Amino acid sequence: MAKAYLGAVDATFEGQSREKKVALVEEVTDAVESTLGAPRERTGVVLREVPAAHRAVGGVPAG
């Protein structure tokens, strides 16, 4: 069975509730299943929470 590795979605997860994170994971899984036909049980989603002090956009620190 083929595997698909999707690039990261740049989003800020800090301060988001567990419920919102679960909803995001469910929606991403639904999208992968419906568009690629990938089985849900073989679809993994990882949310990486990077503190603002460790990020920058356009050379400007976020935190």
Mapped onto helix, strand or coil, the DSSP state of residue 14 is coil
- pLDDT given at position 35: 92
pLDDT at 9 > cutoff 70: no
Residue 49: band (very low, low, confident or very high) from pLDDT cuts 50, 70, 90? confident
Q: Where are the alpha helices (DSSP H) in 1-63?
A: 18-36
pLDDT, the chain, mean: 83
1-63 homologous superfamily: Macrophage Migration Inhibitory Factor (3.30.429.10)
User: In the chain, what are the domain boundaries?
Assistant: 1-63
- Specify burial of residue 33 (Cβ count, 10 A radius: 0-12, 13-18, 19+): middle
Residue 47's identity, in one-letter code, is L
Give 14-31 pLDDT, tens digit per residue: 788 999 999 999 999 999
Question: What pTM value is reported for the model?
Answer: 0.72
3-state secondary structure of 40: helix
Residue 33 scores a pLDDT above 80: yes
